[in-house]
């Protein structure tokens, strides 16, 4: 029986490549899986965000094309609620339950450029809306003196499918969006017959 030199077992162990591929796969598999899940989640987030932005823009467009919202305060509330139900469908196939919207009309002062007040407001799904006759800061030169604009302020809670499994990543993110829309007429009356007269 041949005598093995000292240290031969260690050299044999170091030169043994059996199972090397399995070991490499075990090291790389978690990273590859994380990259795959990240790619899926990024695509889902981008598509969801596009639906959210489209829903906000459509809300402003629906309201801005109206001459008035309703013949009475109650009807105006009902008509706006109906619009919000149709907007929820624009979020499909994503969850619309966390979509929150505030729709309000802002009129710029005739005399003092830059000053503007909220003429009416509507809140959907618990979104905070500015009170009637409260001051509202519009972007500079957005509307002329005495002009009116429909503002839509919105938030959406996006829930990640895999965020709770990734260390340091939150499973929920809050998105926000704001849009401005010029009325097709000089303004959008909340109740028919207001004729764009400020009540503030």
Q: What is the pTM of this model?
A: 0.79
6-51 pLDDT, tens digit per residue, is 656 656 655 656 666 777 777 877 888 878 877 888 888 899 999 9
77-117 pLDDT, tens digit per residue, is 999 999 999 999 999 999 999 999 999 999 998 776 668 99
Annotate the chain with three-state secondary structure. Answer: CCCCCCCHHHHHHHHCCCCHHHHHHHHHHHHHHHHHHHHHHHHHHHHHHHHHHHHHHHHHHHHHCCCEEECCHHHHHHHHHHHHHHHHHHCCCCCCCCCEEEEEEEEECCCCCCCEEEEEEEEECCCCCCCCCCECCCCCCCCCCCCEEEEEEEEEEEECCCHHHCCCCCCEEEEEEEEEECCCCCCCEEECCCCCCCCC
């Amino acid at each position: 029986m041949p005598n093995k030199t000292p240290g031969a077992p260690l050299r044999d162990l170091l030169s043994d490549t059996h199972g090397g591929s399995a070991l490499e796969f075990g090291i790389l598999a978690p990273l590859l899986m994380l990259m795959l899940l990240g790619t899926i989640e990024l695509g889902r987030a981008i598509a969801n965000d596009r639906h959210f932005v489209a829903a906000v823009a459509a809300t402003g467009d629906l309201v801005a094309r109206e001459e008035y919202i309703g013949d009475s305060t109650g009807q105006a509330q009902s008509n706006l609620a109906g619009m919000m139900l149709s907007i929820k469908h624009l979020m499909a196939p994503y969850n619309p339950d966390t979509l929150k919207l505030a729709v309000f009309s802002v009129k710029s002062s005739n005399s003092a450029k830059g000053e503007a007040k909220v003429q009416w407001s509507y809140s959907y799904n618990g979104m905070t809306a500015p009170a009637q006759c409260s001051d509202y800061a519009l972007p500079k030169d957005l509307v002329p003196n005495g002009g009116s604009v429909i503002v839509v302020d919105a938030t959406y809670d996006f829930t990640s499918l895999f965020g709770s499994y990734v260390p340091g990543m939150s499973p929920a993110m809050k998105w926000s969006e704001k849009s401005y829309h010029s009325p097709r007429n000089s303004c959008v009356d909340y109740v028919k017959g207001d004729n764009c007269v400020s009540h503030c």
